[in-house]
Amino acid sequence: MTEFLNNLFFIFQRLNWLSVIDILLVTFIFFGLLYSLRDTQAMVLLRGVIMLVVLIILLTSLVDLPAFSWLVKNALPALLLAIPVVFAPEIRRTLERIGRAGSFGPAAAKSIDLNLAQTIRAVVSACARLSARQHGALIVMQRLDSLDEYAASGVYMNAKVTPELLLQAFYPNTPLHDGAVIIANGKLVAAACVMPLSASGVLNRTPERQMGLRHRAALGISEISDAIAVVVSEETGSIAIAHAGRMLRRLDTERLENILTAFFRGTDGAHNRNLLVRLFPGLFKRKED
């Protein structure tokens, strides 16, 4: 114990403000990596890798295994090269989040569109009618991140957003009812668009694991962009909204309109988040509704 205390005292003697900054930087890096991997399959994989590394360290340090130690030592460089490949989706998503956080151009500073209130009312009205008829729908509303590559996968429309047009787009057995509708700058840009499916570990837990492809696509586009995705369930008619890899389900039309208005009211992200937390505390909790 005395030796341990002496070593600890020796460390604190050598500690200065540069060392504190160095430690904090390393801490923030690890925190950022773990925070970006939360609720993803990569977190499960990372736990497995950590357990495997601990087991290998114990085997090589407690037991004399020359052949096994040689194999581990020579395989380590290959494992380090494999990490970027295994975690490629999460690394890309983290870089995209950093890029969005650093946006200070005209796109980030643009004011609210004059037709936004009318567009939100059209979306809410259409969702209410689609819910009553139990017609499935996926409506993706663009914010700062461009969705042009996903709009290109569908049918280009560039039409004014109206409840009747959305109802027609998602009418069963019509050419446009499969896929998503993308709305940007008060226009219905394209329909029948293909969205990326979510890779989130949230879907492995009940009841989210029972969600269909529309809900998975809504979570998927919300994980890789700042878009707002509104989903109407074909089975139950319930309305849900997805943002930043989180989903709030079983919404009525009033709450849906309040959420959409809060998201698009101005460009102050902190103000929007505080308003949404006050209105719907469960939206940003780790466990969804």
- The answer to whether the bond into 66 is cis (omega within 30° of 0) is no
Same domain? 233 vs 256: yes
C-alpha to C-alpha distance for 76 and 11, rounded to whole angstroms: 31
| Per-residue model confidence as pLDDT tens digits over 123-133 | 999 999 999 99
Report, in this order, helix, strand and coil percent for the chain, each rounded to 5. Answer: 60, 15, 25
* Length of the chain measured in residues: 289
Same domain? 77 vs 130: no
Q: Are strands 137-141 and 180-184 parallel, antiparallel or unpaired?
A: parallel
36 within some domain: yes
249 within some domain: yes
- 242: pLDDT strictly greater than 80: yes
58 within some domain: yes
289 within some domain: no
Same domain? 76 vs 164: no
| Per-residue model confidence as pLDDT tens digits over 8-48 | 677 777 778 888 888 889 888 888 777 766 655 566 677 77
- Per-residue CA distances from 188 to 19, 81, 117, 158 (Å): 54, 44, 15, 5
Same domain? 154 vs 27: no
Which of 101, 129, 148 delimits the end of a domain? 101
Same domain? 28 vs 161: no
Same domain? 84 vs 196: no
Domain holding 225: CATH number? 3.40.1700.10
106 within some domain: no
Per-residue pLDDT averaged across 206-218, rounded?
72
107 within some domain: no
| Amino acid identity at 90 | E
Which of 101, 134, 149 delimits the end of a domain? 101
Structure tokens belonging to residue 47: 């736990």
| Per-residue model confidence as pLDDT tens digits over 54-98 | 887 777 777 777 887 788 778 777 777 777 776 676 666 666 666
Same domain? 177 vs 154: yes
Domain that includes residue 212, residue range:
114-284
Same domain? 55 vs 147: no
pTM to 2 decimal places:
0.62
163 within some domain: yes
The total of structural domains in the chain comes to 2
Same domain? 92 vs 128: no
145 within some domain: yes
Same domain? 147 vs 228: yes
Same domain? 218 vs 84: no
C-alpha to C-alpha distance for 128 and 125, rounded to whole angstroms: 5
pLDDT score of 121: 92
Which of 101, 125, 150 delimits the end of a domain? 101
Same domain? 155 vs 256: yes
- The answer to whether 175 and 158 have CB atoms below 8 angstroms apart is no
- The answer to whether 170 and 250 have CB atoms below 8 angstroms apart is no
DSSP state of 281: G
